Every structure is written in C-alpha cells, then in structure tokens.
C-alpha cells in the first residue's frame, strides 16, 4: 500500500500529489521534493546501474521510515511513489503501480478538455490514483 | 476558396487554427505512444522518432529523408506527402496546398514540445507532393 503517489511536470512542479490521510502530508511532500535531485542525477548519470533505457528508476534513496521509488516518462513527467517500510510493495508490484499511474496520466492528457500543466480536476484520474493507493496488491 | 477563409478571417488564420489543433493532437499522441518505449535520450533520437514512428502513425509510411546542419535545424522530407498525393500539381493550387500541411506541422510541433524540445516548425512545398518540414530547435543543442 502506497502512502503517497506524486506526479511532477517536466519543470519539476508538482502536478498532483496524493497522500494517505493517516500520514504527515508535509513530510511526504518534502520527501517528494528531495527525490527530484536524485531523479535528475539518475537521469544524467552516464554509467547507470539500471538499464539506461528503462523508464522505471527503482528505489531512489534509503530512508528509515519509507521506501521511495521513481519513474520518468519519455515526456519528462516524473512519478514518485512512497510506501512505508512496514508495508512494502514487491518489486514487480512497484513497476505495475507506476505503469498504472502512467496509464491514468495518459488518459488525462488525451482528454481534450484538460490543458496540460493545469491543476488536475479530472474525476477518473483522481479516483484511479486513489484506488491504486488503497490497493494491497497490484493486479 | 472564399468559404472557409471568410469564416476564419483569411488563410493565415486558417493555418494557425489547424496548427493549434495539430499541436494538441501531437502532444497527446506522443504521451500515449511513448508509454512502453525505451527512453529516448538525444535530440537527434527524438527527431528520428518523429521521422520514423510518428510519420508511421500518421501516414503509415516513414519520412523519406532527414537532413541537419548540426546546429539545431532539421529538415524532414516526404516525397509523397499523403494529403497532397491526390491534389493536382498545377501552380494555381500551390497556396491551397499549404493548408493541407498545416495540421501536420502542428502535430510535429506538439510532439516535439512534449518530448521537451520546443521548436518552430515550417513546411515548404516546392514540388508537390514532396514536402519539406523544417524544425528549428529553440535552444541550441548541447
């Protein structure tokens, strides 16, 4: 179960951040913000440990309470998922989760009534992300 | 030719309108199409993606030629531009031909913008149905 799912624009501005209401959202926002640097570093490193063509970046950096994962699309949109140490997702599940968040974002962009970069009010997107946050395992 | 132009205030406005429509389409198309693709890194790879994959999606064929001056200008050439192959090649329809390329220019512009490469896109039709689309990157390549 994720405690936070965040989508950031090309310019690293927060587009949408969903946090578990039981958690301190300010702390989670801060973690998302600090992970931007790590993401940029991973993108720019010439000798990436991961396959440099992979969109999924894996775990970004260690933290005592949380696991933080990153993903960057070809359109420079960054997705950050934070989960608590006490309830971790398996690696396969993490990739699936990013894939689904990415899919929800694509549907949002393809909606002609949505202007890219503007605040998100689309119900289908909001409820997709909300149900992904609650899911215990990702199908 | 006065019908549509009169409603939009002239051929320039029509071209602008078509480009805007194309921009939104190109933007969304790239968002969707690059979902499961490997990361496209260099500027050149992005332009190649436009020539091969985007052209294939739009016209079921790839662009025929790509030239660059290595300082941020690329020229994509299509020798049989799909929207002009049925249009007569006589001089009198040359200006009308520009309207048929406007949407595509918008699509390319929107696609590049979503890749993070804002640029200006113009098209020339010297010898229909050959079309040359010129991309000028707004930031000089690193």
Q: What angle do CA A66, A82, A57 make, to 5 degrees?
A: 105
ipTM of the complex: 0.85
Q: What is the DSSP string of chain A?
A: -EEEEEEE-TTS-EEEEEE-TTS-HHHHHHHHHHHHHHHHHHHH-SS-SS-TT-SEEEEEEE-SSEEEEEEE-TTS-EEEEEEETTSPPPHHHHHHHHHHHHHHHHHHHH-TTSPTTSPP--HHHHHHHHHHHH-SS--
Q: Give the closest of A52, A106, A112 to B35, CB-based.
A: A106
**Would you state the pLDDT for residue B120?**
92
β-sheet bridge partners, residue B131: B78
A111 to chain B: closest CA residue: B28
For chain B, 142 residues long, the average pLDDT of each consecutive 10-residue run is 65 89 95 88 89 94 92 92 86 82 94 92 88 86 54
Nearest Cα of chain A lies from the Cα of B76 at a distance, in angstroms, of 22
**Is the pTM here over 0.90, yes or no?**
no
CA nearest to B75, candidates B14, B12, B126, B41:
B126
Q: To the nearest whole angstrom, how far is the Cα of B109 from the nearest Cα of chain A?
A: 14
Of B27, B39, B40, the CB nearest to A116: B27
Nearest by CB to A74, from B27, B28, B39: name it.
B39
For chain A, positions 95-114, list CB contacts with chain B under 8 A: 102-103, 105-106, 109-110, 112
Is the pLDDT score of A87 beyond 80?
Answer: no
């Amino acid at each position: 179960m994720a405690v936070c799912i965040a989508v950031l624009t090309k310019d690293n501005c927060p587009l949408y951040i969903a946090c578990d209401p039981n958690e301190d959202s300010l702390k989670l926002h801060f973690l998302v913000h600090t992970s931007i640097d790590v993401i940029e570093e991973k993108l720019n490193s010439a000798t990436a440990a991961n396959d440099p063509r992979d969109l999924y970046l894996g775990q970004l950096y260690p933290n005592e309470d949380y696991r933080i994962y990153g993903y960057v699309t070809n359109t420079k949109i960054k997705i950050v998922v934070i989960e608590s140490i006490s309830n971790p997702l398996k690696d396969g599940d993490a990739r699936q989760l990013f894939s689904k968040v990415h899919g929800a974002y694509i549907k949002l962009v393809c909606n002609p009534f949505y202007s890219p970069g503007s605040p998100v009010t689309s119900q289908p997107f909001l409820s997709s992300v909300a149900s992904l946050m609650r899911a215990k395992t990702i199908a | 030719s006065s019908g549509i132009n009169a409603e939009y205030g002239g051929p320039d406005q029509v071209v602008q309108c078509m480009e805007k429509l194309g921009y939104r389409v190109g933007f969304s198309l790239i968002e969707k199409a690059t979902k499961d693709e490997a990361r496209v890194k260099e500027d050149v790879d992005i332009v190649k993606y436009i020539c091969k994959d985007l052209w294939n999606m739009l016209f079921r064929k790839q662009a025929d030629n790509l030239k660059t001056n290595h300082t941020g200008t690329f020229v994509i050439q299509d020798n049989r531009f799909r929207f002009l192959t049925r249009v007569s090649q006589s001089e009198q329809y040359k200006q009308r031909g520009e309207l048929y390329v406007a949407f595509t220019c918008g699509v390319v512009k929107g696609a590049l913008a979503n890749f993070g490469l804002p640029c200006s896109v113009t098209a020339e039709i010297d010898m229909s149905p050959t079309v040359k689309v010129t991309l000028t990157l707004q930031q000089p390549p690193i």
